[in-house]
Amino acid sequence: MKTLLLSAISLGLAAPIASASSGSATAVLHADQPGAVINRNLYGQFTEHLGHCIYGGIWVEPNSPIPNTRGIRNDVVAALREIRVPVVRWPGGCFAEEYHWRDGIGAPDQRPSMINTNWGGVVENNHFGTAEFMDFCEQVGCEPYICANLGSGTVQEASNWIEYMTSDANSPLANLRRANGRDKPWHLKYVAFGNENWGCGGTMRPEYYSDVYNRFNSFAKDYPGNKLYRVACGPNGDDYHWTEVLMRNIHAMYQPETPGMDGIALHNYTIPVGHWTNTDKGSATNFGEDQYALTLAGAGHMDELVSKHLAIMDRYDSKKKVALVVDEWGVWTDSEPGTNPGFLYQQNSLRDALLAALTLHVFQKHADRVSMANIAQMVNVLQSMILTDGPRLLLTPTYYVYDLFKVHQDATSLPIEVTSPDYAYGQTSFPAVSASASRDAAGKIHISLVNANPHDSIALSCKLDGLASRSVSGRILTAPAMNSINTFDAPHTVEPAAFNGATVSGDTLNLTLPAKSVVVLEL
């Protein structure tokens, strides 16, 4: 999690004049021109020791009356399994740069407590540590993604943690793991060395960070049966100099057979008011069309960031061996009134779901180079999948986008060209219709569509090149208002429903996209 960040998009607002007509859109799906495989990790999650993300959100202690398995909430695990969560990043975030893993192993009642100086100044007991996180990942069926402490930690500390988790040797650290109840090593693929080291992770220059990364990376060993995928702390938004330095000072120095840098982690948040502010980022629920438009325009800004960072990477890495990992992204609003502002608890509306869908389309567009994305955060923090209140659990509109889009995971991307009318409000303008398509292993084709216009439906005619389809079915996510939300008292306001408005005739798909909607079709 970041403490200081450039804006997702900064646009001036003119007089509040919305677009007047819906118009129509056209598209061409090239089913005979398969592209890159869409890495399932684009649907990754991020969880941090922040507010009630871990404690109360995931972890409730084994003796809790809330149904759990070894302290981990059963209802949360079931919800995450339903959307096929592929990978989860932990323990942060800024928290990772003050986290010392040895405090979170062994008998829970003997672990030292610590002050969370980044988020609320609360004291936590370290009952959720390495074994608990790995257990959580095994229950969910996802890959763990560890962020090692590069800011206040040591090279030896990070090296020892990797050995503790992944070595099967008769060594002191592997035997310590065995003494703590885990005989066989865990499988750990994804490791990041540092988080936001340009900010909360040490206020470093990229030249200095790249040298420190090289040192940490040199002592991170691939133990038998486990090969690490190594991620470097990447840029803050549009800091293109940071990416340039990392590609020059880290990637270029390694020989092909030497572990170097597999990914660069980009962080970027969308702020509804259009620019970063510590005091007023905009309400999660009480907003007008100006903030609606600025928020959804953030997906276009993400596309710009990804494209420009990849262009720099291509100059040094034409074979595209180093990936871009967008391991923090999402909507960041003001905290809900009456909650601890340091806990970053915010509601989640239809607007946020639309942004999630638009941004996932961006990542899938760049599937040849973007290998992972981790929305912030999974439970009870920022743009979360799940909200909890004691024993109660609530699924957010963003959760349902991930449910609809899970059909794209590990599928082969298919080019789809869209010609759309613009949605405009004031000086904010972008194409109203966005689309992404893929073919899964069973040969089924899925097309996900977004109509960002909050007022008008849009008729879409899509030519199906290289495809003979006889039937189409679909699901839709929409709601009465752009700020519609699910609450614990009314949990079904925003949830998917069957969509029967699409037809196929010959090589043409026709449908009408309702206003402010996400539709996923299966051909």
Q: How many whole angstroms separate alpha carbon 117 and alpha carbon 61?
A: 23
- Tokens at 169, concatenated: 């040797």
Token digits for 8? 């997702």
Render 165-205 in DSSP notation, one character per residue.
Answer: HH--SSSHHHHHHHHTT--SPPP--EEEE-S-TTTTTT---
DSSP 278-315: SS----SSS--HHHHHHHHHHHHHHHHHHHHHHHHHHH
Q: What is the DSSP letter of 37?
A: B
Residue 351: what residue type? R
Q: What is the DSSP string of 378-406?
A: SBSSSS-SEEEETTEEEE-HHHHHHHHHG
DSSP H/E element including 359: helix 350-365
C-beta of residue 339 within 8 angstroms of C-beta of residue 284: no
Point out the catalytic residue in the list 82, 124, 196, 522. 196
- Interatomic CA distance for residues 316 and 131, integer angstroms: 39
CA distances from 195 to 1, 148, 232, 303 (A): 8, 8, 8, 22
φ and ψ at 97, to 5 degrees? -80, 0
Dist. CA 66–CA 451, nearest whole Å: 39
Cβ-count burial 264-287 (b if 16+ within 10 Å, e if not): bbbbbbbbbbbebeeeebbbbbeb
Q: How far, in whole angstroms, is CA 483 from its chain's centroid?
A: 22
Does 110 sit behind a cis peptide bond, omega within 30 degrees of 0 on the bond before it? no
Residues 348/353/355/357 CA torsion (nearest 10 deg): 150
Rg (CA), the chain: 23
- The answer to whether 328 is a known catalytic residue is yes
Alpha-carbon distance 197 to 218, whole Å? 18
Q: Which of the residues 163, 328, 336, 417 is marked catalytic?
A: 328
Max Cα-Cα span within the chain: 71
- Name the strand (E) or helix (H) holding 160: helix 155-166
Q: Give the number of residues written for the chain.
A: 523
Q: Are 488 and 469 in contact (CB under 8 A)?
A: no
Residues with catalytic roles = 196, 328
